Amino acid sequence: MAVLMLDRVVKRFGEFTAVDELSFSVPEGGVFGFLGGNGAGKTTSLRMVLDILRPTTGTIEVLGKPPSRENSTQLGFLPEERGLYRRMTVLDTVVYFGRLKGMKRDAARKSAMALIERFDLVPWARQAVDKLSKGMSQKVQLAAALVNAPRLVILDEPFSGLDPLNQDILEDVVRELARNGSTVVFSTHIMQHAERLCDRMLFLARGRKVFEGGQEDARRAVPARLTMVSRVSPIGLPGVSRVSLAESLADGWNLWDVGLAPDVVPGDILEICTAQSFPLRDFTVHSPSLHDVFLRLVGPGNGR
């Protein structure tokens, strides 16, 4: 079952099209990455999912229904722009958000205390939010997003402003949510987090979808790179599109950086080397990272 579905969604602001014919679905369970550069349309899309904005055209379903406040009891949302009542205490803030989502006071308080402990905020539970550091305030807002044990959790640039230790804590929380049956959708332009967390992902470029699928599918969108140690340049081998000398080694051997033509896989090159008795001492495949994929799919000249 899809917990989130967009079908040909368009959002225009006057003459500017922020989201252009966007269609995708998120299956229940796991972590779905919503990836793109600044201005790609990520936040606008998530605001339409949450019924903060309405699409110009197209349809959206959240937990099988159109976006509305009725879904709030099963949703958790961490916005990119943090917003808390600065004079409220940490505990009262998290309880308040639980109550807004339909929780009874005792249940909201119990869940709030568990999250405050989980995020190492116990010494500040009775402190006003305006006394906290930026990082601690973000953890309070994350607790407020999770207090109702949501079925669908939407995190908009959740790692922004967190130090490495708190980024690790947040990654652990995302994994815990997925293990416990929640579906997590998070937007980011930092590919290292997506690489460690995502089961599936979508790449946005200038409001348009340029990829949807799993990590291995994404990596296949970018040709693998090889390094080969040989006395002879591999430029004449079938399937090799680019060769550069990376390093001169001893006894006439050289390290070559090798690019492949589209649809050529590294194993093809190795078979050709064997068949032609090509002088080869080392053959190493360097699979593209999500950062490489991001640059290829979302970089200048892609999308609209």
- Average pLDDT for residues 196-225, to the nearest whole number? 90
- Average pLDDT for residues 226-236, to the nearest whole number? 94
Percentage of residues in the chain having pLDDT higher than 90: 71
Q: What's the predicted TM-score (pTM) here? A: 0.82
Nearest to 232 by CA among 281, 270, 275, 269: 281
- Average pLDDT for residues 217-241, to the nearest whole number? 89
Q: What is the helix (H) or strand (E) element at residue 7, kind and residue range? A: strand 2-13
Q: Read off the pLDDT band of 193 (50, 70, 90).
A: very high
Output the six-digit token pair for 287: 């699979």
Apex 179 CA angle, 175 and 184, nearest 5: 60
Output the six-digit token pair for 80: 């990119």
Q: What is the helix (H) or strand (E) element at residue 115, kind and residue range? A: helix 105-118
The one-letter amino acid at 162: L
Query: How many helices, marked H, and strands, marked E, lie in the chain?
Result: 9, 13
| CA 150 – CA 220 distance, rounded (Å) | 34
Q: Which domains does the chain have, with CATH numbers?
A: 2-219 (3.40.50.300), 225-287 (no CATH)
CB atoms within 10 A of CB 173: 21
- Residue appearing with tokens 């509305």: 68
Helix (H, G, I), strand (E, B) or coil at 6: strand
| Predicted confidence (pLDDT) per residue in 140-150, tens digit | 999 999 999 99
Residue 300 has pLDDT above 70, yes or no: no
Residue 304 has pLDDT above 60, yes or no: no
| CA 212 – CA 160 distance, rounded (Å) | 24
Q: Read off the pLDDT band of 282 (50, 70, 90).
A: very high
pLDDT of residue 303: 46
Residue 133 near residue 141, CB atoms below 8 Å: no
